Amino acid sequence: MKEMYPKNGRVILHVDMNSFYASVEMAYDQNLKGKPLAIAGNVEERRGIIITCSYEARKVGVRTTMPLWEARKLCPNLIVMKPNFERYRAASVAIFDLLRQFSDLVEPVSIDEGYVDITEGYEFGSPLEIAKTIQERMLEQFDLPCSIGIAPNKFLAKTASDMKKPLGITVLRKRDIKHVLWPLNVGEMHGVGQKTAEKLNHMAIQTIGDLAKGNDIQLKSLLGINGIRLKERANGIDHREVDPNSVSDFKSVGNSTTLPKDVTNVKELNTVLEQLAEKVSVRLKAKQVLATGLSVTIRYKDRKTFTRSKKLDNPVEKQDEIAQLAKKIFHSNWNGNAIRLLGITGTDLISVNEAVKQLDLFSYERDAKKEPLLNAVSKLKEKYGTSIINRAGMVRKNKPYPSIGTDTSFNKDFLHITHEKKEE
């Protein structure tokens, strides 16, 4: 099996959930299956916009970002629902937990898509077998369809996953680029928007192949460094690694673990939660952020998965605080059945510099004792800059933190109900 993997290159999957919001609603309510369904903002208002819709709705012309009145005109029997972002976030946590069963290198890029580096995944089978297993488990465990691209880098994997929807699996190799990608209109290339496509068209670049052969000086003059980057991508070059620690655009961080056996022992489960809390704490400190929300994921032996969340009065980063809160959430929701997987996720992250703790009766006395020290530190930072002093937990060695494969992060935009996502 190892011979089916490259000796020097990478094998990367891009997993993209199909019509995610609508699919989650259908999984939640089986009566919606096979019907034209749209998720829309401002459902009661004429100016409401379609966030996403089922493939049954798409067949009659309903599209993402379409005004609701126009969609109803095309499809009079269209079922329209408001978005339930808490439900979608819970499904997302479960999805990425599943992906981490196949690799430590999982990088979420939004609530419903992410990259998985399976270069060392030969123990699970060939790349195609792994993709098929993931797709099958998504359906069996969550009743959610996905498309998967298999390629040697992120760009090609993302491109491949878009080629067959829904429930497609596409392999895209570098040797396929010339006859698969190059004939396509440049506007169809991942990373090229409408305005960029128009600029390229003015340079007589009509296809992805034209871009691949474009003049470096002209491209850089027109689009800056992004012009060179797009040319590289058109030639199948993309050196970006799958980074589970990537947090620049995300607002949560967590860890989960599949237990070696189904567990009902309370002491054992508490120990697992403490271990997970430690990993979450390490990540929070490394990123210099605090969590203002906490989620606990519970998967039972029958594979049913639940995520329960709590908004916190005070932001947390310490292991004991996270463990105490996680245990409280867990024991309030556990039904006593055997547990197969547990996970803890810190959500709604804020930077340390932005954190303002709300004092209460329990923390006031302890915090008051620290006030003289905090004032002194504040004055030093004002005079010499915010980086002059950091707590010991934030100090990083020359080498990066080791990858903790069960880390998960979700885009901050999906924490706000007003966000309307353009979904393929």
Q: What is the 3-state secondary structure (H, E, C) of the chain?
A: CHHHCCCCCCCEEEEEECCHHHHHHHHHCHHHCCCCEEEEECCCCCCCEEEEECHHHHCCCCCCCCEHHHHHHHCCCCEEECCCHHHHHHHHHHHHHHHCCCCCCEEEEECCEEEEECCCCHHHCCHHHHHHHHHHHHHHHHCCCEEEEEECCHHHHHHHHCCCCCCCEEECCHHHHHHHCCCCEHHHCCCCCHHHHHHHHHCCCCEHHHHHCCCHHHHHHHHCHHHHHHHHHHCCCCCCCCCCCCCCCECEEEEEEEEEEEECCHHHHHHHHHHHHHHHHHHHHHHCEEEEEEEEEEEECCCCEEEEEEEEEEEECCHHHHHHHHHHHHHHHCCCCCEEEEEEEEEEEEEHHHCCCCCCCCCHHHHHHHHHHHHHHHHHHHHHCCCCCCCHHHCCCCCCCCCCCCCECCEHHHHCCCCCCCCC
Tell me if 112 is assigned to a ligand binding site: yes
Q: Is 238 annotated as a binding residue?
A: no
Which residues lie across from 144 on neighbouring strands?
none
Q: Which residues are catalytic?
A: 113
Tell me the CB-side half-sphere exposure of residue 317, using CA atoms within 13 A. Answer: 18
Instruction: Round to whole Å and give the CA distance between 52 and 379.
Output: 50
Binding site per annotation, positions for Mg(2+): 16, 112
Task: Please state the residue numbers annotated as binding site.
Answer: 16, 112
